[in-house]
Structure 1
């Protein structure tokens, strides 16, 4: 009854094509952003920021990049962890090798380097697809793991193979406290989320979806598969690379190649499957679910006296069961369930 667009007339094409055409959605989004920027720093403690909220934001950004490629363009990739690693290590090298390098510029340089690597390993998508493309992108994961572990230049010739950053600041704003790191990550997520939402609604976004639905028919109507696929790899890798830089600089502070192993690639793919492929909102749903579920099971294990190893095994079993369930019952994930709930709310309390 309160979620209807009755009386909300559109007098121009521009107003009809807004990101949130329904006024209630706009107000709800503004309320969420106000809560995130103002209330969250006042409510949660340091543990919540370090263990839950900051990882959720960064993984949401990475899942958003994966969703651009997998959900909107239909190109299966298992190299997301490698692109995160490229973004983190190249941002690190730009940050430590260039005196006075701004942190934001270093992160964007890491994203651009991840773009180049993503486009290179996306070239096989012009000839193969499906399982074969997944195996081709998996090569990026193994190659990057080897490169960052064996080539000393990437780690600034550190004999331990690990790198670390400290004393981070942006325009005099010191990023030392968890709240400051949270707000910094939140700004990145809001900006990239807005850009991604507008991008998938643009001409290139429609080309991605046409390639995803039927690439042969898309080519017949004049869409260039090479441009569409490689641009999807480029945009996706850039977002994932920036997320990798945030993961290393903001969340970890010190890391080694194992922080971006193949497990990270599968984790991001699971977020997209559970949250909803081809949905910006689904990226956030999937990241929230993946981050919160292990913590929830760990709390239950402490109550019932379960061992940590058993809790970890149960977490993997639940992940596997949910992925199979979503693929069979609801392939569009939690975002689709949210959309159905909104549609029912629009005509409530009338029967349908």
Structure 2
């Protein structure tokens, strides 16, 4: 057997509250974190940091924010990119206009601003739900973009409406290099993923899941529906706002309001659908799928069909195959990649008796 549960007993409340109850899982998690923080910065190159790892981490965080709202609280939303834009532009203005404000605090204030905006657009969830709520949150996508475009103050009166990242200096250390931007992004994402894991295991997380399963029954047993839904929108938007700040500052360096368009919202929605609703790990698996599969298809077609097929047709062919793979996967495993991993983990516990 790959690892055994026998002999590992839970004898205290503190042990029962652990995220990973088996020592094998804990050490595997610590080893993965150690590798990501201590090894990857030395073996990775600029392309891996700038084109793969940083967007993977930021999209994972954005997917996590939407998954808290949709996967755990059951509230549909198509305004994810709008809340990312609010977080990015708010963090930019806080850092620009408050002398000496630390960069991480700017990120936090940008996330809080996005949370407040999320509460405003979450108010319709008190009366409507389902696809009607989806349409109401879609309004955020157009309203936020229009406001950021029409009022030049948000972009410091830049003629093109573009904001540029400030120097990435934290506690006197410069994180402007590709490896530094990766470490900064990884540190923020790891901390927020741990926070999200603790939230969904708390009383608030149980309230979210009760409202998701049946809000009428949740109200009957005393769960405050108003508070629970608005907290879901606020916390989700907070995560999305910080993801937007990271997208602008550590990934792109410069961004405009239209960089957070409806396509970005759909991309985040696809991440949680492919990765798995109601799963923390699923956001990282879904983001890896979205980021890596197009690169894999591009490299594969470039080596096999270069010079044979027109580049424009080659790009369309990549999109068609990418869409077909997503459809096939969702038919094969509707619960997402997280369910496949869970199934593999359950089978590995009793291998080789069954696999």
- How far does the alpha carbon of each residue in 1:304-351 deviate from its partner, in whole angstroms, 9 at most, with x for none? 215543344344434543444455443320000000000011111114
Once the two structures are TM-superposed, the CA of residue 162 in structure 1 deviates from its matched residue by 1.1
Once the two structures are TM-superposed, the CA of residue 294 in structure 1 deviates from its matched residue by 1.2
CA contact (8 A) 1:273 1:326 kept: no
The match for 1:175 is 175
1:330 to 325, 328, 333: 333
Q: Distance in 1 between matches of 2:236 and 2:173?
A: 29
The match for 1:321 is 324
CA contact (8 A) 2:69 2:75 kept: yes
The match for 2:346 is 343
The match for 1:215 is 215
The match for 2:27 is 27
Is residue 2:253 matched to residue 1:229?
no
Number of equivalent positions? 352
SS at match of 1:117: helix
SS at match of 2:145: helix
CA contact (8 A) 1:301 1:308 kept: no
CA contact (8 A) 2:152 2:161 kept: yes
Is residue 2:67 matched to residue 1:64?
no
- How far does the alpha carbon of each residue in 1:165-186 deviate from its partner, in whole angstroms, 9 at most, with x for none? 2422011111221111111111
TM-score normalised by structure 1 residue count: 0.96
The match for 1:49 is 49
The match for 1:92 is 92
Unaligned runs of 5+ in 1: none
Q: Distance in 1 between matches of 2:2 and 2:298?
A: 39
SS at match of 2:293: helix
Unaligned runs of 5+ in 2: none
CA contact (8 A) 1:326 1:332 kept: no
CA contact (8 A) 2:81 2:265 kept: yes
TM-score normalised by structure 2 residue count: 0.96
Counterparts of 1:115-134 in structure 2 under 5 Å?
A: 115-134=115-134
- How far does the alpha carbon of each residue in 1:79-107 deviate from its partner, in whole angstroms, 9 at most, with x for none? 00000000000111111111112111111
- How far does the alpha carbon of each residue in 1:226-275 deviate from its partner, in whole angstroms, 9 at most, with x for none? 11111111110000000100110111111111211111100000000000
The match for 2:155 is 155
Summarize the Cα distance change of 1:5–1:322 in structure 2 as closer, same or farther, 3 Å threshold: same
Summarize the Cα distance change of 1:319–1:233 in structure 2 as closer, same or farther, 3 Å threshold: farther
Once the two structures are TM-superposed, the CA of residue 51 in structure 1 deviates from its matched residue by 0.3
Summarize the Cα distance change of 1:168–1:342 in structure 2 as closer, same or farther, 3 Å threshold: same
Q: Distance in 2 between matches of 1:179 and 1:224?
A: 45
What RMSD, in angstroms, separates the aligned Cα atoms of the two structures?
A: 1.4
